[in-house]
Structure 1
């Protein structure tokens, strides 16, 4: 088949899938390639290829009609097998569970150390009887966070099962295990053996390279790989398939097996290897391509790599069209397509030049996708890739396989290997941790869809000119650099102001962006309220809402500096993430309520701010400032020495014709004080005090402020019962439109001369 027609077929198939799910990043990528290819390559035969678009459009529609649960919500009894390695984190155990009808995600909260010790014996492929309740996966609640419900839906998973009890005695190993089950069990045992023999980080990295299992890599190490653009080195893909196939071929030939039979044996082994490495889309793509390529060699047939790649793409989409929305699928196919269609650039190049060129190409083509998902790009990515690709490929990967093989054949050898192997892996991780601390990050935020399109057009232009001239000139990069500059400048050209109420669960965090981004203020950081835990309850990574919600929101918006961090008061749910934020994001000034009796957290924040040279300002009633048409007035606290909640900073903010009243955690005593001091107070938007607690938002305070909209920041199903029913009743009686972070997720008020626009995630 003509390679151009094959590529067009795959692109039309992908476009059909995308159109069936409406707009997405994948769709923009595909449309970009589609337009370019059609403009330059359209032939009469393309009419036949065009049929792939409506065919896959209809097929995806039909697939989605079937992609629903077989279980009614009231189903309580289940039987099935454990399909993934049970993950234990603190008191929570979770795994995928395969019933006769579909897959479920099981989440169970353990009650004691003894029960945890018992459930640690659960293994993959065990058959279990479970009784519990079904819950829908939580919908997306952050603009710049993961959509977990969609992620599970694309894997044909629709429910989370919360068992009333998980009894290890009711889980038994199936004596009639299938070959796939036996492979999975062996994989699980091997992963746990490495975890038992080596430190967490060393075992995590080795398991990632050998088995594609990254769960136990230390968070700091994994973040270093992500920030430096090295995550692909921890993903099992085409390189791994090539190395494994090469060594198997050498082994079979040394045994005296003829080449053709050696190829057949490798083809038989590759499906096993796909299961061994977790079966992610990248390894499935590489494995199928490897098997087909070897089959063509055996039958002495030739096939163009682009045709092979296109065929594999269509085959995988035929199996599950929702593969198209998997990041691993997108990057795997895009990078492979780029490399096989740029062979002319590799001619007469040395190994070092090849490494530099391929690293540059992959970094450049992945740039828009990485930017969309992670909002920033490390400028160290290219040089670090040039150094680390050969290091991981020629050192860490072979060492991992060698060590794994040796300790299986000679278990006592672990005593000789443990120290040098751990030193090698820990040292490599430490070097990356140091490297990523150097300021080399290009933070641009999530590009809009039209910018995303222009990025790929600029990249395609660069490579088209490079290939046409057989040399890379700086002028070819000008359109690409212009798009980067344009994205960096757009916020400073936007006349609208934005007030974002970030969903931080049971806490507060409000982001204010002034028109033309003349200043950025963050009011509170969110934070977890600490509870005492026993040793067995401690998680190996505690959830940090500032790290998981606030920081991604700042980066997703393309914000590179906070001009003012305003802490309403020093409770953990408002200021608990401050020190983390100061260590990971530039802050110019910290604003605190005037307080003579500093809490431990306040003292820590002030000390951390001083060490970083951050200006400290203390707010009290009557202070005000303005920038352009924006005004800030401090209504509270006064000089009175009251409770922590009643010392909260209360801000009245005017942005164009829209006013916001941000009340921290004040209670009725502070509200009465504000009523007495500011009798003419009015606000269009009220941030309801103390998460909607019944101790605040009195009738008199609502009469004075007369808000049109109210925002309540509270956690889903929180233990405090926030917001209180009487507060909701009072707001409804005043005909105030209520928005809640526990129900609406992130909430954005966009104020402009033309009026107010409100958007929410849900």
Structure 2
């Protein structure tokens, strides 16, 4: 209860809301009822940590001047080279900054591979603030870095291996990190990328070396936690270290003392993430208690470690690993009556089930979906990883240190086990059975935990599982699933996809969902050495998660306004990764390569393809779609864009694709009475669009501009912005405001932005 009180004090400061106050009231009532007179000792942690979090927040700032151009410091993290990009953390003037260096040649890339932690470097560059969150459901990178006391990103102007030398007077802590870096590199030199990446994740908590595809496999099946160093690793290492020390003749007390000295070293070796700090600290305290022949309740021990870590760094409260680590440990400790006397297989199944169901709301909040196969796959993979891959990795590490030639003999056998693991994961993707529910609102989030606690409580009291116990939890799932279908409001969202367009239309009561353009990443010809391990795909990273976060499981219509990459480049990806009922393309004699590809993919998947032209229209509940363009006249790709006039209740939207002056004139001539409340400004605000005549004709109240931040095209043009302002049109830009959503009901609409 004390740890919960401290945690909530920090959380309430950062996420103050009405729902938060209601939950606070419930928490206070529960603590008072349960603890009565002792409740004051528990509740005092809440205001103390609320104030402490405020103090920590107000005193967290950078001491580096933004104008500084030259820096000297020590490399803190393992340098990572991904194609033509080098990145690492640098400590300068007792402050950590993220360094990004653009590699100019293959020869330079080879040279930069010599970099390692603890090297002292001098470099020139420009400090930039990390970007704020620009998506409703995306990670706030600036806040994430701030929680780790990082305030700047440095883009280099001058840097190379010659700018770095070995650091003098290296501390013991730095020696440990250097040894970790060396052995990570050793394993990478002896094994394939996939094998060494998994080994380094299991042994050192270093996951940057894992192939991106393999990591996606683990994430898709809810098995990512197996790639994190956790309490299990601490337990195994501690147990074997104890056996070795006793075999060497050390008495029990000295063995305990040496293990206590070793565990902080092990924490640093494995990356010092919150989950391993929790496990290591608990291990140290348990051994101390054993040495003093005392008894401490495990929950009290867990609470003390939690409060200690939050006292050291309140930002731990917002770390997903911290949340899951403490929650799962608490659940397993308090479920001891359910777990006792269980056979090993039954114990594995029960613990996997309990951990999966209790982490369900948190997983939904962060990833918007849940795999139904996570429990059976955990049952299969926990022993496989724990009893096979982890010991093999540890033995391989010992061989690389003491007998590297032996690795040549057993290499193929070791590679086989890890290859089998990857192939099995790949094949299992077809069975992952992910259920998309979307991000739960705060009150739904709370109801989930209430349903889960009721289920576990009844299970513990009755010593059996009955279907009735799980009914409240299933009811919450049904409410969460069905909420959009009971919502009379519609939402039109302009998703920030950088220099491109992507618009999501959700009609009232979720009667239909339309995706208008998908965004797309423009690729350039690169040499092999320049290519990133996984090229950034805006549709994969932004658009699809946006749909999942809203609980959208299928799209009624995918409308590609025209075949430019920044509008339809993600069309094929969406067709492969979400159910689509219809695909709409512009009606013209011959589509370009991208339009043809989308049409071919749709045909292969038996999806209906409709070519839209002027005058076509369709209705849905409380809404009307009317096609204003293209007509029969062939023109440029931009001027052949599909233009939609959308009416929801009594509010109208004009969605213009990339049309320019020529198409605008055609629209105003053909439909002189068309007016709109909201105009999606044509062609990202290009000077060739949004003419004065067109703006006067459609007379919008709001103008939405979809453009990339600091784009190379100068969008939106100053002349366009001037014309919009002269007509008192409220301007919203994705490059400045991030995602822009307009919520529509019968009487009014409300604009919301991510920034």
Please give the alpha-carbon distance, in whole angstroms, between the structure 2 residues aligned to 1:432 and 1:61: 44
Map of 1:709-728 to 2, 5 A cutoff? 709-728=702-721
Tell me the secondary structure at the aligned position of residue 657 of structure 2: coil
For residue 678 of structure 1, the aligned residue among 626, 648, 671 is 671
The 1:319/1:439 distance shift into structure 2, 3 A limit, reads: closer
Cα distance in 2 for partners of 1:340, 1:88 equals 42
1:240 aligns with 2:211: no
Aligned 8 A contact 2:270 2:276 in 1: yes
Instruction: Tell me the distance in 2 between the aligned counterparts of 1:727 and 1:562.
Output: 33
CA drift at 1:52? 1.4
- The alpha carbon displacement at 1:755 in A equals 0.5
2:54 to 55, 58, 61: 61
Tell me the residue number matched to 1:491: 484
Select which of 210, 213, 224 maps to 1:231: 224
Give the whole-Å Cα distance in 2 for the aligned partners of 1:261 and 1:32: 49
Does the CA contact (< 8 Å) of 1:125 and 1:174 recur in 2?
yes
Assess, with a 3 A threshold, how the Cα gap between structure 1 residues 180 and 171 changes in structure 2: closer, same or farther: same
TM-score, scaled relative to structure 1: 0.97
- Please give the secondary structure, in 1, of the residue aligned with 2:197: helix
For 1:455-512, what per-residue CA distance to the aligned partner results, in whole angstroms no more than 9, with x for missing partners? 0011111111111111111100000000000111100000011100000001100000
Alignment-derived partner of residue 505 in structure 2: 512
The match for 1:317 is: 310
- Please, which of 244, 256, 261 is the counterpart of residue 251 of structure 1? 244
Residue 278 in structure 1 maps to residue 238 in structure 2: no
* Distance (whole Å) between structure 2 residues aligned to residue 307 and residue 754 of structure 1: 54
1:170-201 CA-partner distances (Å, limit 9, x unpaired): 21111321111111111111112222222211
The CA deviation at 1:558 is 0.1
CA distance in 2 between counterparts of 1:32 and 1:84 reads 43
In the TM superposition, residue 42 of structure 1 has moved relative to its aligned partner by 2.0
The equivalent position to 2:685 in structure 1, one of 686, 689, 692, is 692
Q: Does 1:364 align with 2:361?
A: no
Contact 2:373 2:432 in 1 (8 A): no
Give 3-state SS (helix, strand or coil) of 1:504's partner.
Answer: coil
Q: Which residue of 1 aligns with 2:516?
A: 523
Q: Kindly provide the CA deviation profile for residues 644-701 of structure 1, in whole angstroms up to 9, marking residues without a partner as x.
A: 1111100000011111111111111111111111111111101111111111111111
1:126-158, Cα deviation, whole Å (9 max, x unpaired): 111122221110000111111101100110111
**Among residues 602, 619, 635, which one is paired with 2:628 in the alignment?**
635
Alignment partner for residue 544 of structure 1, among 514, 537, 548?
A: 537
What is the distance in 2 between the residues matched to 1:461 and 1:562? 36
Q: Is the 8 A contact 2:484 2:509 kept in 1?
A: yes
Mapped partners of 2:322, 2:744: distance in 1: 39
Distance 1:73 1:461 in 2: 53
Give the Cα separation in 2 of the matches to 1:25 and 1:434. 46
Aligned to 1:133: 126
* Alignment match of 1:503 (pick from 492, 496, 507): 496
Shift in Å, 1:35: 5.4
Map Cα deviations across residues 59-100 of structure 1 (whole Å, 9 max, x no partner). 111111221111122222222111101111222111111112
User: C-alpha offsets along residues 391-431 of structure 1, whole Å, 9 cap, x if unaligned?
Assistant: 11101111111111112211112222222222211211221
1:256-308 per-residue CA deviation (whole Å, 9 max, x = no partner) reads 11122111111111111101110000000000000111111122222111111
Q: Structure 2 vs 1, CA of residues 30 and 403 (structure 1 numbering), >3 Å: closer, same or farther?
A: farther
User: Corresponding residue for 1:73?
Assistant: 66
**1:583-622 equivalence runs, <5 A:** 583-622=576-615
Cα distance in 2, alignment partners of residues 337 and 320 from structure 1: 20
Q: How does 1:239-388 map to 2 (within 5 A)?
A: 239-388=232-381
Structure 2 vs 1, CA of residues 371 and 31 (structure 1 numbering), >3 Å: closer, same or farther? farther
Q: Shift in Å at residue 532 of structure 1?
A: 1.4
The answer to whether residue 741 in structure 2 is matched with residue 748 in structure 1 is yes
Q: 1:620 to 1:657 in 2, by over 3 A?
A: same
Which whole-Å CA distance do the structure 2 matches of 1:305 and 1:439 have between them?
35
Task: Indicate conservation of the 8 Å contact 1:712/1:740, yes or no.
Answer: yes
Distance in 1, matches of 2:33 and 2:458, equals 14
State the alpha-carbon separation in 1 of the partners of residues 109 and 17 from structure 2.
42
Query: Partner residue of 1:11?
Result: 4
The answer to whether the 8 A contact 2:613-2:627 is kept is: yes
SS in 2 for 1:44: helix
SS in 2 for 1:45: helix
Whether contact under 8 Å (1:503, 1:509) holds in the other structure is yes
Alignment equivalent of 2:442, drawn from 435, 445, 449? 449
In structure 1, what is the Cα distance between the partners aligned to 2:432 and 2:55? 49
Q: Distance in 1 between matches of 2:420 and 2:30?
A: 46
Q: How many angstroms apart in 1 are the aligned matches of 2:17 and 2:126?
A: 33
Match of 1:646 among 630, 635, 639: 639
1:117 to 110, 121, 124: 110
CA contact (8 A) 1:14 1:30 kept: no
Aligned to 1:412: 405
* Contact map agreement 1:25 1:449 (CA 8 A) in 2: no
Shift of 1:30: 8.4
The answer (yes or no) to whether the contact 2:221–2:432 under 8 Å persists in 1 is: no
Q: Provide, for residues 610-660 of structure 1, a one-character-per-residue CA deviation record: whole Å limited to 9, x for no partner.
A: 111111110111100001220001111111121111111000000111111
Distance 1:192 1:507 in 2: 40
The one of 692, 698, 702 equivalent to 1:705 is: 698
Q: Which blocks of at least 5 consecutive residues in structure 2 are unaligned?
A: none
* 8 Å contact from structure 1 (residues 624, 632) kept in 2: yes
Alignment of 1:180-191 (within 5 A): 180-191=173-184
The corresponding residue for 1:4 is: none
- Worse-matched range after superposition: 549-558 or 413-422: 413-422
**Partner-residue secondary structure (3-state), 2:122:** strand
Aligned residue number for residue 552 of structure 2 = 559
2: distance between equivalents of 1:542 and 1:130? 27
1:170 alignment partner, one of 156, 163, 167: 163
Offset from partner CA, 1:717-762 (integer Å, 9 cap, x none): 1111111111111111111100011111110001111201110001
Match of 2:431 in 1: 438
Shift of 1:38: 1.6
Show the counterpart of 1:52: 45
Task: Tell me what 1:156 maps to.
Answer: 149
Tell me by how many angstroms 1:432 deviates: 1.6
Work out the CA distance in 1 between the residues paired with 2:246 and 2:18. 46
Residue 505 of structure 2: SS of its match in structure 1? strand
Whole-angstrom CA distance in 1 between matches of 2:346 and 2:261: 35
What count of residue pairs does the alignment treat as equivalent?
755
Using the alignment, how far apart are the partners of 2:432 and 2:110 within structure 1? 44
Q: 1:429 aligns with which of 412, 422, 426?
A: 422
339-348 or 111-120: bigger deviation: 111-120
Per the normalisation by structure 2, the TM-score is 0.98
- Residue 43 (structure 1) shift: 2.3
Distance 2:41 2:286 in 1: 26
CA distance in 2, matches of 1:376, 1:26: 23
Task: Name stretches of at least 5 consecutive residues in structure 1 with no aligned partner.
Answer: 1-7
Query: Structure 1 residues 129-138 or 501-510, which shifts more?
Result: 129-138
Given the superposition, is the C-alpha separation of residues 229 and 207 from structure 1 closer, same or farther in structure 2, using an over 3 Å criterion? same
Residues 132 and 142, structure 2, Cα contact 8 Å, conserved in 1 = yes
RMSD of aligned Cα (Å): 1.6
Q: Which moved more, 1:552-561 or 1:178-187?
A: 178-187
CA contact (8 A) 1:32 1:457 kept: no
Cα distance in 2 between the residues matched to 1:466 and 1:610: 50
- Between stretches 581-590 and 19-28, larger displacement belongs to 19-28
* Deviation (angstroms), 1:25: 13
| 1:26–1:324 contact (8 Å) kept in structure 2 | no
SS of the residue corresponding to residue 42 of structure 1 reads helix
Question: Could you tell me how far 1:36 is from its partner in structure 2?
Answer: 7.7
